[in-house]
Amino acid sequence: MSEQTTIARPYAKAAFDFAVEQGAITEWHDMLEFAAAVAVQEDMHHFLKSATSRDQVTNVFVGVCGEQLNANGQNLIKVMADNERLVALPEVARLFALLRADYEKEVTVDVVSAVELNDALAAKLSAALEKRLARKVKLNCSVDPSVMGGLLIEAGDLVIDGTLKSKLTRLANTLQS
């Protein structure tokens, strides 16, 4: 995966810089997501690995994407095809999304609780996390009854484990030592 990241990073950065310059971040994000979805299709992935002509690869890929790609998006595909890098498109799309989130000062926070959070509690949690992280927060809530109570919050490298399960585990470890 790290090799794909190394390959994809310059393409994602160039596409993002161009998108910012053109004021078309959302359009580029959509184009890259679509192209990445095409690239991971089993038949297309096999074709990309086995095709011998770069022009053939470009024509087929752009043809499949059709009107989902504007002229600049097609140019990116042509450049990546010329350098035999189309298999890195999913990673380009992922890195572009990370650059976009950083640019827009957004972060996705995974929240695990024992029961579903109501809207008021989710809004309060979101506001507190926005203050702490100094970013717009998008909550990704899930339910896991095994946490028993409390919340497990993950935002990138930040992990806040306030679950009853982990507190009981720490208490048991403390009592045993």
pLDDT of residue 50: 76
Q: Which domain-ending residue is among 102, 123, 145?
A: 102
The first and second tokens of residue 111, run together, are 């929240």
- Secondary structure, 3-state, 5-30: HHHHHHHHHHHHHHHHHHCCHHHHHH
Residues 35, 116, single domain; the answer is no
- Judged against a pLDDT cut of 90, whether residue 13 lies above it is answered with yes
Pairing relation of β-strands 136-143 and 151-155? unpaired
Residues in Cβ contact with 152 at an 8 Å cutoff, skipping those fewer than 6 apart:
111, 112, 113, 144, 159, 160, 161, 162, 163, 166
Residues 56, 127, single domain; the answer is no
How many Cβ atoms from other residues are within 10 Å of residue 54's Cβ? Answer: 14
pLDDT of residue 4: 83
The first and second tokens of residue 97, run together, are 């999304």
Residue 142 DSSP SS3: strand
Residue 27, domain extent: 2-102
Question: pLDDT category, 156, cuts 50, 70, 90?
Answer: confident
Q: How far apart are the first and last CA of the chain?
A: 40
- Indicate which CATH number applies to the domain containing 121: 3.40.30
Residues 97, 23, single domain; the answer is yes
Residues 97, 162, single domain; the answer is no
Q: Which pLDDT tens digit goes with each residue over 109-142?
A: 999 999 999 999 999 999 999 999 888 999 999 9
pLDDT of residue 55: 82
Number of domains in the chain: 2
Residues in Cβ contact with 113 at an 8 Å cutoff, skipping those fewer than 6 apart:
141, 142, 143, 144, 147, 150, 151, 152
The first and second tokens of residue 4, run together, are 């794909």
Mean pLDDT across 35-50:
86
Residues in Cβ contact with 166 at an 8 Å cutoff, skipping those fewer than 6 apart:
150, 152
Q: How far apart are CA 38 and CA 74, in angstroms?
A: 14
Q: How far apart are CA 60 and CA 47, in angstroms?
A: 9
Q: Report the range of poorest mean pLDDT among 32-36, 68-72, 129-133, 156-160.
A: 156-160
Q: Which pLDDT tens digit goes with each residue over 133-152?
A: 888 999 999 999 988 889 99
Q: Which pLDDT tens digit goes with each residue over 46-81?
A: 887 777 778 888 888 888 888 889 999 999 999 998
Residues 76, 8, single domain; the answer is yes
